[in-house]
Amino acid sequence: MKLIPADTQRRISRRPAVIIGAAGVLIALVLAAIFFVFRPDSRDSGSTMPNIILLSIDTLRADHLGCYGYDRETSPNIDAFAADAVLFENAYSQAPFTAPAHMSLFTGLTPAVHRVANFDKTGLRKLDPRIVTFPAMLKERGWLTVGLHAGGMMSPEFGFDRGFDLYSEKLISYNWHRAYEDPKDLNVIRRLLETSRRDSRPLFLFLHHYVCHDPYMTAPESIRSRFLKNPVPGLSKGLPDDERNRILKGFEAAPGGNGLERLSGQRVLRSTFAKEFWKGVDLSRPDHRRHIVDLYDAGVYFADALFGKLLSILREDGSLDDSIIIVMSDHGEEFFEHGGKTHWQLFVETLHVPLIVKLPSRYAQSLQGRVARDVRTVDLFVTLFDLLGLPIDHQIQGESFLSLMKNNGRRYAPLVVSYDNALRSVRFIKDDFVYSDFMSHGVGEWLFSRPNDPAEQRNLAPSMGIVLETMRAIASDVRLGDSSFSASVGTSSARPTDKPSESLLRQLRALGYLE
């Protein structure tokens, strides 16, 4: 794993007093690097620009938050924050998978163009070096760019570290579980805010964790028991806190030196634990569904409490009012609405995500409180650049939805397109219909009426032949459009996956993914 960018490492290596040793020393070293090495240089001055704090709460369904209409108190902090911000009621992710969804966010490109996918036995699909990320564009314009993530599918091996001064999974505990009891675990955020101020560089801070991800055991026992009132006998209730902490520490200490090895180690740990967690669960049974959703909601509540801690830090620092603060998720989660669990199918429950944006008062004139129109997460950074008056000199597919925030009438109505991990299936929203050619339970085509069936339960494909024909033609256009965009960016749309390296194949074999 790369904690410090190579050029910084070179500069640090000339410091004779610095000796890289145990993990604690390494963290101290990174903090020292933040303080002493990241100096402003001859790049454009960004000193009048605001901080951008972007929190991605992995696997957070929009409709499980109070401010999105949930009837359970899962999100007091996010709800209060949303009351002062712009809430997008209908924001959609471009993929129900962590890596492609986040990469669309960071590049303004659809998954079919950036071609980064979740790690599987076909190997690693890493971001093409010709693609320029938004963090890189912000860095170029003077921002101090820092990503504090929870590893896994967000590992730097996918290219997620591109454009970050610092991209680390070490500086906050995995899933922030220590931060709940000991706010000192988030001290790094205070230090980053101080450093950006001292150097007159605005801060772009990307934060990410897996608190809501399955297995739903990350919340402390006290929160889980509050939500899980009637556990189904025989099903897992998660673990007692001490054992939970031991497992979470295991994730942090997952074996291996580089990110890929750690990713593999985490996958093994996760799958072992997840298997245990899901044992005996039959989501077709309402009582089992209730049990599982209760535990998921406990995770949402925990994520909300952690967000509250982040807000406290920003408030204490005096940065709350002058920063752009964004809360969102990369995808939702399914609880058997379409016969599945976790997140892999292309339906509303896996793609509808929260998106809440709070702007500093100097930008917040005549903003809408809630935006009902559809927006895509691939357009978020384009919108921020539009807001800040920053041109984008690279080819992207994203479009600014600033006009929706300001209700100034400029047109924003792109097709809301999403892909599966293998790019075999596409889904899009067109006017009153949702179409996808996703194969699930023997059905290969889906057509839903949005006004009549927002939960996407009645497939109209067999009965609406004429609409279906139109949708098929649009699907074909979407694929052709992405394919020709890939060609113009220089990434080949024909390339199925990168060939895995010999060492990766060895790791996969050792881990049992390959024969």
Residues binding Zn ion: number (CB under 5 A): 3
8 A C-beta contact, residue 71 and residue 334: no
Minimum distance from CB of 153 to Zn ion (Å)? Answer: 7
Phi, psi of 251 (to 5 degrees): -65, -45
Binding span for Zn ion by CB under 5 A among 60-68, 93-101, 107-115, 412-420: 93-101
- CA–CA gap between residue 355 and residue 38 (Å, rounded): 31
Binding span for Zn ion by CB under 5 A among 53-61, 104-112, 245-253, 375-383: 53-61
Q: Which is nearer to Zn ion, 236 or 329 (CB)?
A: 329
Minimum distance from CB of 154 to Zn ion (Å)? Answer: 8
Q: Which is nearer to Zn ion, 98 or 507 (CB)?
A: 98
- CA–CA gap between residue 143 and residue 239 (Å, rounded): 41
Minimum distance from CB of 147 to Zn ion (Å)? Answer: 15
Minimum distance from CB of 116 to Zn ion (Å)? Answer: 13
Binding span for Zn ion by CB under 5 A among 50-58, 221-229, 236-244, 276-284: 50-58
- CA–CA gap between residue 382 and residue 389 (Å, rounded): 10
Regarding 98 and contact with Zn ion (CB under 5 A), the answer is yes
Binding span for Zn ion by CB under 5 A among 75-83, 92-100, 231-239, 473-481: 92-100
Minimum distance from CB of 118 to Zn ion (Å)? Answer: 9
Binding span for Zn ion by CB under 5 A among 97-105, 234-242, 248-256, 384-392: 97-105
Concatenate the DSSP letters of all residues of 92-128 into one string.
E-S-SSHHHHHHHHHHS--HHHH-----BTTB--PPP
Binding span for Zn ion by CB under 5 A among 71-79, 94-102, 318-326, 462-470: 94-102
Minimum distance from CB of 333 to Zn ion (Å)? Answer: 9
Binding span for Zn ion by CB under 5 A among 306-314, 322-330, 415-423, 486-494: 322-330
Residues numbered 273 to 302 that lie near Zn ion (CB under 5 A) are none
Structure tokens at 317: 């620092």
Minimum distance from CB of 330 to Zn ion (Å)? Answer: 4
Site mask for Zn ion (CB under 5 A), range 196-235, x = bound: ----------------------------------------
SS3 state of residue 495: coil
| Reduced DSSP (H G I as helix, E B as strand, rest coil) percent helix, strand, coil of the chain, to 5 | 40, 15, 45
Q: Which is nearer to Zn ion, 99 or 193 (CB)?
A: 99
Minimum distance from CB of 56 to Zn ion (Å)? Answer: 8
Q: CB neighbours (10 Å) of residue 440?
A: 16
Site mask for Zn ion (CB under 5 A), range 327-366, x = bound: ---x------------------------------------
Q: Closest CB to Zn ion belongs to which residue?
A: 98
- CA–CA gap between residue 341 and residue 364 (Å, rounded): 39
Q: Which is nearer to Zn ion, 143 or 160 (CB)?
A: 160
- CA–CA gap between residue 260 and residue 6 (Å, rounded): 18
- CA–CA gap between residue 177 and residue 299 (Å, rounded): 11
Minimum distance from CB of 195 to Zn ion (Å)? Answer: 29
Closest by Cα among 382, 381, 326, 334 to 354: 326
Phi, psi of 135 (to 5 degrees): -55, -40
Report which residue type is found at 147: G
Minimum distance from CB of 133 to Zn ion (Å)? Answer: 18
Long-range contacts of residues 507-511, Cβ cutoff 8 Å, at least 24 apart = 507/260, 507/261, 507/264, 508/121, 508/264, 511/264, 511/267, 511/268
Contacts to Zn ion by CB under 5 A: 58, 98, 330
